[in-house]
């Protein structure tokens, strides 16, 4: 593998990690409830704007829905792009033949007696 492919693989893995972590961390509004706690809208995976504290306020539920939407709009495509990038690089690596100068570590390409 070339340095460029390794770098692209690392970037792809970072995109996957960033996207999944962004969906895992909770989404908060910049407002506080009556007890001084920051209002949480849930996580990107399963946020429910109608279950937020103070959801009787339609404006607050709408702000939570918007905050969750914005988080999902960038986190999901980032994770998907990283997954596609890593999958393409893995497919290229499996299908490529090693150079004459490097020894193969793939068991199906071993030459000679493998016992």
The CA dihedral of 40, 46, 50, 51, to the nearest 10 degrees, is -60
pLDDT number for residue 63? 87
- Give the start-to-end residue ranges of the domains of the chain: 3-95
Q: Please identify every stretch of the chain with a pLDDT value under 70, giving residue numbers as ranges.
A: 1, 49-56, 58, 97-115
pLDDT number for residue 96? 76
Q: Name the packing angle between helices 58-95 and 3-24 (round to 10°).
A: 150
Q: Rounded to the nearest 5 degrees, what angle is found at the Cα of 40, between the Cα atoms of 36 and 46?
A: 165
pLDDT number for residue 56? 62
3-state secondary structure of 30: strand
pLDDT number for residue 62? 85
- Give the model confidence (pLDDT) of 46-65 as tens digits: 877 666 665 567 688 888 88
Sort 64 into a burial class: Cβ within 10 Å, 0-12 / 13-18 / 19+: buried
């Amino acid at each position: 593998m070339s340095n460029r492919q390794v770098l692209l693989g690392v970037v792809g893995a970072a995109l996957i990690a960033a996207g999944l972590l962004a969906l895992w961390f909770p989404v908060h509004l910049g407002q506080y409830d009556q007890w001084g706690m920051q209002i949480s809208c849930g996580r990107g995976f399963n946020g429910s704007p109608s279950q937020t504290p103070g959801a009787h306020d339609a404006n607050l539920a709408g702000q939570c829905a918007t905050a969750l939407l914005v988080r999902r709009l960038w986190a999901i495509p980032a994770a998907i792009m990283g997954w596609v990038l890593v999958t393409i690089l893995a497919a290229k690596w499996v299908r490529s033949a090693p150079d004459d100068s490097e020894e193969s570590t793939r068991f199906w390409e071993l030459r000679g007696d493998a016992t």
